[in-house]
Structures are given as C-alpha cells and as structure tokens.
C-alpha cells in the first residue's frame, strides 16, 4: 500500500456493491485495513493515477502560477515598486497553497468511478478473518499447553539443580526482561511524542510564517494613520498567537484541573484574537484599494534583471 491508496480510501474510492450490482456503502479505512491484512490485493498505483489524468497538469499549472506571482512580488520589491496590501494577503495564501500542494501532491484529483468490491468477496474475507482468528485462538491454546508442559519440565530441572543458582539466574533474567520491556515502552512513547511535537511545531511555524509575510508593507504608506496602526497590530497578533499555541499546549499537559480551565480560556482568547486580526487585515486590504500609491500600477521591468555587457 502506498500513500496514493490511503488518499483514495479517505476519498471513498472503494465501494461495496451488493449481489444485485447496486452500491451499498463506501468501505471505511478499518474495512480496507482488514481486507489488506487478509490477502486483499489493492489496485496498482498506476491504475489509481490513471483515474485522474489531469492531476499532474492541473497541479503543475497551479504551482507555476503561484511561483510566478511570488516572483512578481519579489521583483517589485527589488525595483522599489509598491506592493498593495491585497497583494501581500494573496502572497501569504500563496505560501499556504504551496504547502498544501506539497502535502497533497500524491492525492488523486477526484473519484469519478470508485473501485468496486463485491459483497460476496467482502463476506468471504470476513469469514477468512473469523477463521484466522479461531486458528489463532486454537494456536494460542496449544501454545499455552506447551508452555505449561515446558514450565513443569523447567520446574523439575530446577528442583534437581542447584536451587540457589537457578533462583538467582531467574531473578536476573526477569529483571533484565522487565528493564528491556520498560525501555522499549518508553522509547515508543517518546518516539510518538517527538513525532507529534514535530508536526505540531511545524504547522504552527507555518501559521507564524503566514503572519510574518504581512510585515512586508510595515513601512509603506497607508491611506490613513488608523489603518496603518491597525495593520501593524494585526501583524504582531498573526505572528504571536501561533507561537503561543505550543506554550498553551504544554501548559495543558502540566497544569491541574483549575489550571487547565484557565489555559483553555487562554487558548480560546488567542483563537479569537487571531480570527479578529485575519478579518481586519482582509478588510484593510480591500479598503486601501481606493487610494493606491503612484507606483502601485507600474509593471516590473524584467529586462533590468538581465546582465548587460
């Protein structure tokens, strides 16, 4: 299974059909996992990609358009041309758009025709799962009998052998096994914690970067001083609130019940401030279109970037 199959499952790409040929329901991820574990062969990745022939074309064009707009904004700044507030907001969304496209690069475009799974095959797989579980239970029962016999034999050997040395060895083995199990359990917990922490900080960093791009027109002229002040305050809020989110999460993990309530209220306050700042910057970006600076309508002179000898 590949990430393409996982995306396809989330998009309800596998559908259960009845004996009369009518669709019943989409198969959930849990159903697909069970079928995959019991000899269900998924369609090849090429077949799924063939269902969305326009994926590479549409994604490629969108990426080219996004990169072209970013290049224009950078070129305007290098040539000391004005960048309007709505262009700055659009630039921020372009960066978010590139991150989304990177995460969804292998996601199929749409599911026009889902993969058909007949209910008879689904029932056979469920019966196979049930039979395998019964075999596992019987095998576990047989193993338990063998373990009992082995334990009795070990007990007899222990009685015949030197009891003191055997008891000491057993204690050492048990202590070593307990420590190894505890170490593995701790390692798995820390690995999962590190993975979740990395993803949490990564996406919060993207949110802070989204707000940091609004600092581009920090010193540019605005139609009014009030709009300028509001824009600057909102820029700070857009950067600070995502960076405070990890601190709030850490506080929720460490504080007690009363402290958790306070941290939840603080998290709600940060969320409201963030939404308010986003709304204000969006409103200002449109209201400033009525009085643009003189160089806002000038085009980039791309020939100036070509070396002349």
| Range from 194-208, 249-263, 274-288, 291-305 that averages highest in pLDDT | 274-288
Indicate the DSSP class of residue 308.
-
Answer whether 109's CB lies under 8 Å from 54's CB: yes
d(CA 126, CA 118): 13
Segment 214-222 mean pLDDT: 88
CA gap 208, 203 in Å, rounded: 9
Contact between 119 and 17 under an 8 Å Cβ cutoff? The reply is yes
* Secondary structure percentages of the chain, helix, strand, coil, to 5: 75, 5, 20
What's the confidence (pLDDT) of residue 169? 57
pLDDT digits (tens, 9 = 90+) for 129-169: 554 555 555 554 545 555 555 555 555 455 445 555 555 55
Residue 8: exposure state from Cβ atoms within 10 A (0-12, 13-18, ≥19): buried
Q: Which residue has the tokens 């797989």?
A: 125
Instruction: Report the alpha-carbon distance of residue 64 to residue 33 in Å, rounded.
Output: 37
Rounded Cα–Cα distance for residues 69 and 199 (Å): 28
What string of H, E and C letters represents the secondary structure of 1-52? Answer: CCHHHHHHHHCCCEEEECCCCCEEEECCHHHHHHHHHCCCCCCCHHHHHHCC
Burial 245-255 (b: 16+ CB within 10 A, else e): beebeebeeee
Q: Note the pLDDT tens digit of each residue in 33-65.
A: 777 666 665 666 666 666 555 566 777 788 888
**Lookup: tokens for 116:** 């058909």
Instruction: Compute the distance between CA of residue 294 and CA of residue 40 in angstroms, rounded to an integer.
Output: 66
Share above pLDDT 70 across residues of the chain, in percent, rounded to a whole number:
62
pLDDT tens, position by position, 57-115: 777 788 888 889 989 989 988 888 888 899 999 999 888 888 887 777 777 776 767 77
- Residue 149 has phi, psi (to 5 degrees) of -65, -40
Separation between Cα atoms, residue 160 and residue 155, nearest integer Å? 9
* Residue written as token pair 């026009």: 112
**What pLDDT does residue 247 have?**
74
| Nearest-angstrom CA–CA distance, 211 and 267 | 18
Q: How far apart are CA 69 and CA 97, in angstroms?
A: 12
Higher pLDDT among residues 28 and 235, named by residue = 235
Model confidence at 280, in pLDDT bands (50, 70, 90)?
Answer: very high
Cross-strand partners of 14: 115
Contact between 289 and 86 under an 8 Å Cβ cutoff? The reply is yes
Check whether 14 has a pLDDT greater than 50. Answer: yes
Pairwise CA distance, residues 66 & 71, whole Å: 9
């Amino acid at each position: 299974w590949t990430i393409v199959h996982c995306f396809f499952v989330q998009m309800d790409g596998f559908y259960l059909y009845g004996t009369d040929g009518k669709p019943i329901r989409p198969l959930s991820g849990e159903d697909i996992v069970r079928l995959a574990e019991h000899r269900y062969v998924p369609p090849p990745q090429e077949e799924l990609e063939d269902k969305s022939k326009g994926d590479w074309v549409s994604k490629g064009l969108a990426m080219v358009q996004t990169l072209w707009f970013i290049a224009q904004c950078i070129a305007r700044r290098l040539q000391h041309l004005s960048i309007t507030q709505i262009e700055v907001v659009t630039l921020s969304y372009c960066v978010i758009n590139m991150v989304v496209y990177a995460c969804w690069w292998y996601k199929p475009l749409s599911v026009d025709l889902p993969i058909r799974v007949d209910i008879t095959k689904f029932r056979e797989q469920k019966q196979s799962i049930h039979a395998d579980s019964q075999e596992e239970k019987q095998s576990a029962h047989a193993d338990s009998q063998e373990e009992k016999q082995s334990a009795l034999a070990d007990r007899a050997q222990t009685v015949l052998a030197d009891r003191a040395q055997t008891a000491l060895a057993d204690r050492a083995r048990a202590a070593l096994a307990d420590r190894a199990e505890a170490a593995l359990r701790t390692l798995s917990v820390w690995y999962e914690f590190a993975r979740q922490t990395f993803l949490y900080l990564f996406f919060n960093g993207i949110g802070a970067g989204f707000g940091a791009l609004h600092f581009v027109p920090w010193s540019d002229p605005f139609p009014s001083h009030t709009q300028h002040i509001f824009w600057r305050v909102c820029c700070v809020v857009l950067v600070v609130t995502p960076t405070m989110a990890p601190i709030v999460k850490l506080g929720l993990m460490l504080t007690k019940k009363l402290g958790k309530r306070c941290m939840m209220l603080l998290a709600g306050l940060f969320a409201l401030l963030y939404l308010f700042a986003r709304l204000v910057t969006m409103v200002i970006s449109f209201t400033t279109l009525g009085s643009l600076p003189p160089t806002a309508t000038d085009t980039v002179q791309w020939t100036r970037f070509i070396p002349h000898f």
